[in-house]
Amino acid sequence: MKVQEIMERSGIQQTGRAIAYIKDALEEIILKSETHIEVERQDLKKDKRYYDLPFNCIKILDIRCKNQNNAEGDYHSIPRSIYTPNKGDSDGI
């Protein structure tokens, strides 16, 4: 569908405003639907709690670790921790 057709159907007369609405709608669709999913893999380091995330990261869907609570070499999700850990770590802020 062309911009002119969208303008006719919606009754908008200004082209700039119609394009701005279209851009806003596309951005909202991108943010709400998980269409651009990328996988980031990082090696875990002993006694390290904080890791750098990619600059373009908007939303983290899942964090998985190999051999997490199993010995088969499968990837399993790591439960989310919302509280401060009981034991101190060297990365502590």
Q: 4-39, pLDDT tens digit by residue?
A: 998 999 999 999 999 999 999 988 887 777 766 778
Query: Which segment of 34-38, 56-60, 82-86 scores lowest on mean pLDDT?
Result: 82-86
Question: Which token pair is 65?
Answer: 């670790």
Q: Are strands 75-77 and 64-66 parallel, antiparallel or unpaired?
A: antiparallel
Question: Of the ranges 10-14, 41-45, 51-55, 81-85, which is most confident?
Answer: 10-14
Give φ, ψ of 65 to 5 degrees.
Answer: -135, 135
* CA 19 to chain centroid: 26
The mean pLDDT of 47-72, rounded to a whole number, is: 78
The mean pLDDT value of the chain amounts to 80
* Cβ atoms of residues 65 and 44 within 8 Å: yes
Nearest Cα residue to 91 out of 42, 44, 40:
44
Report pLDDT for 31.
77
Q: Which residues contact 40 (CB under 8 A, 6 or more apart)?
A: 53, 54, 57
